[in-house]
């Protein structure tokens, strides 16, 4: 019996989801076919179905992997000072917005989550995990005297997420320069909690 190399298996799944995510962003979920994904990923249909039973399973896996990436990033953030941790999390959340193709994927997430309860729950869990981690870092930074929270740590975390969401929302404007506005977002957040501007 063949043994499966877990590292190679994970790499192959990631390759498929990364390829599919680009197609979903460009063409939309409904218009992207399994054949499109196989051609772009340079794999056979049989190989794709070995990893994923359906196209929707590929779409959901994007957010499973996102949660895994976030968990690794939270671990790094907790190893820093709390305020530096907050800024690391914010930078990580903003990073996909630097790719203009992400705008299409954001719209697809909204459209698909509204009709897929499993995806809705998955995205919601990711959002909640991020909010909880940010709230913990905000509270620790406040307790250490690095910032002054004008609201609860959880509300501060919610507003930080809201600022990041606003950045993604502006991607539909072709003249919007997300890279230039990340520093503005960090400045707004720093002023909100009385922190030294990054």
The rounded average pLDDT for each run of 10 residues, N- to C-terminus, in the chain (198 residues) is: 75 94 90 95 93 94 92 96 95 88 81 89 94 97 94 97 92 88 93 82
Q: Over the stretch 131-152, which tens digit does the pLDDT of each residue have? A: 999 999 999 999 999 999 999 9
The SS3 assignment for 132 reads helix
Distance CA 141, CA 196 (A): 12
Contact indicator for 15, 41 with CB cutoff of 8 Å:
yes
Contact indicator for 191, 197 with CB cutoff of 8 Å:
yes
The encoded tokens of residue 124 equal 């919601």
pLDDT at res. 41: 95
Half-sphere exposure of 24 (CA within 13 A, CB side): 24
pLDDT at res. 197: 62
The encoded tokens of residue 120 equal 């809705």
Its pTM stands at 0.86
194 phi, psi to nearest 5 deg: 70, 30
CA distances from 65 to 2, 17, 80, 84, 116 (A): 26, 9, 23, 24, 18
The SS3 assignment for 150 reads coil
pLDDT at res. 9: 86
């Amino acid at each position: 019996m063949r043994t499966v190399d877990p590292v190679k298996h994970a790499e192959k799944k990631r390759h498929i989801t990364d390829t599919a995510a680009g197609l979903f962003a460009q063409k939309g979920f409904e218009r992207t076919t399994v054949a499109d994904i196989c051609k772009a990923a340079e794999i056979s249909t049989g190989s794709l179905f070995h990893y994923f039973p359906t196209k929707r399973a590929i779409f959901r896996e994007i957010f499973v992997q996102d949660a895994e990436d976030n968990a690794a990033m939270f671990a790094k953030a907790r190893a820093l000072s709390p305020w530096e941790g907050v800024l690391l999390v914010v930078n990580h959340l903003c990073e996909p917005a630097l790719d203009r193709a992400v705008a299409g994927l954001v719209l697809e997430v909204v459209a698909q989550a509204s009709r897929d309860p499993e995806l809705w729950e998955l995205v919601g869990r990711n959002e909640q995990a991020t909010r909880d981690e940010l709230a913990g870092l905000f509270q620790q930074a406040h307790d250490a005297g690095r910032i002054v929270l004008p609201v609860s740590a959880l509300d501060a975390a919610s507003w930080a997420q809201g600022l990041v969401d606003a950045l993604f929302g502006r991607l539909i404007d072709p003249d919007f320069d997300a890279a230039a506005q990340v520093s503005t977002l960090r400045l707004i957040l720093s002023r909100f909690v009385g922190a030294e501007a990054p």
